[in-house]
Amino acid sequence: MNLENTPAKLLVTGGAGFIGANFVHYWLNKYPEDQVVVLDALTYAGNRASLASVEDNPQYTFVHGDICDTSLVEQLLLDHGLDTIVHFAAESHVDRSITGPDAFIETNVIGTHSLLKAAKKVWLDMPKADGLEPLKHRFHHVSTDEVYGTLEPNDPPFSETTAYAPNSPYSASKAASDHLVRAYHHTYGLEVTTSNCSNNYGPYHFPEKLIPLIITNILNDKPLPVYGDGKQVRDWLYVEDHARGIELVLREGRIGENYNIGGHNEWHNIDIVRLVCQLMDETFARDPALIKKYPSALQAAAGNSASLITYVTDRPGHDRRYAIDAQKSRSELGYEPVESFESGIQKTVTWYLQNDDWWKVLIKN
């Protein structure tokens, strides 16, 4: 591996969210000498319980705060001598962006700009004012494939040169933040990279998102809502494979570049729902004691979870298909997802069955 960049002191924004928390665990496991400072506003999507196992790790610090607070970010960069920002913090749920887009503009656009301003000031401007070279630094921005818009069934997948065409307030706010990151590199020389990733799944995923929603609704014997005809196509990636991809971009990615990270794993939503139903039925059949732990899971215990599937009115402007061409990450960085979908989805089902303490408190009755 040709290591060009070696992050050692990382600010992880949104580290109490789904992907951020998985990234923190991945990083501290692999690089136990590194220092990780999490900055998180603990919105409904942030959960310190996702970081419980690292709370006592002396290499880890949690800061409850907002990325829009530029002076707080500056202070953190200075106080901890941080050399890297890995920026996950965002409003991330498309449905919420349709009913309340303001928070998406605030965090995803203004918040990203606030981080860029703080990074520029501390890493570039302050040393320059003292007649010094810029500090060693890297700003990695975590974005989404949704910035590219939607695909027809036979269109080629999105590559890094696909024109941006966001369709929801969420994807538009992410697209705006991607452009700001790019502009701070071209205009000021800030050393940035961006990754655009497909749909993630795995542990610590908030139960409003499709896969954990299906698992937890089956356990509660509630309807499994499927938008429209359920034929929307998404490319699914196990969250640890995303963390691995970000690691490669951080260490070996070229400054100023975007990298697509995908799972080569396209599924219709309805087929994912049916697969999760089948796995839940099989798991309950293998372990009849599970019904004692989850007495509401009557359909799973009867091998009939799919009977809970309920078609609901489609989301307005719902993108039909996303698919990622990850050739650039593969050829430049040697990136390949490690987890197969079969193993990743089974791990995910097992994780939710074993971690009901984590998700039960997040579900409204």
Active site (catalytic) residues: 145-146, 170
Residue nearest to ligand NAD (CB): 17
Give the shortest CB-201-to-ligand NAD separation in angstroms.
Answer: 7
Give the shortest CB-255-to-ligand NAD separation in angstroms.
Answer: 20
Give the shortest CB-174-to-ligand NAD separation in angstroms.
Answer: 5
Give the shortest CB-121-to-ligand NAD separation in angstroms.
Answer: 18
Q: Of 46 and 253, which has the nearer Cβ to ligand NAD? A: 46
**CA distances in angstroms from 320 to 101, 149, 151, 248, 269, listed in the order given:** 21, 9, 7, 30, 10
Residues near ligand NAD (CB under 6 A): 13-14, 16-20, 39-43, 45-46, 66-68, 88-90, 92, 107, 111, 142, 144, 174, 197, 199-200, 206
Give the shortest CB-79-to-ligand NAD separation in angstroms.
Answer: 17
Give the shortest CB-14-to-ligand NAD separation in angstroms.
Answer: 3
CB neighbour list of residue 154: distance below 8 Å, 6 or more residues apart: none
Rounded CA-CA distance 281/283 in Å is: 5
- The answer to whether 149 touches 157, Cβ cutoff 8 Å, is no
Q: Of 262 and 284, which has the nearer Cβ to ligand NAD? A: 262
Q: Of 69 and 221, which has the nearer Cβ to ligand NAD? A: 69
Q: Of 306 and 362, which has the nearer Cβ to ligand NAD? A: 362
Q: Of 298 and 362, which has the nearer Cβ to ligand NAD? A: 362
Q: Nearest 5°: CA angle at 31, between 26 and 35?
A: 95
Q: Of 83 and 145, which has the nearer Cβ to ligand NAD? A: 145
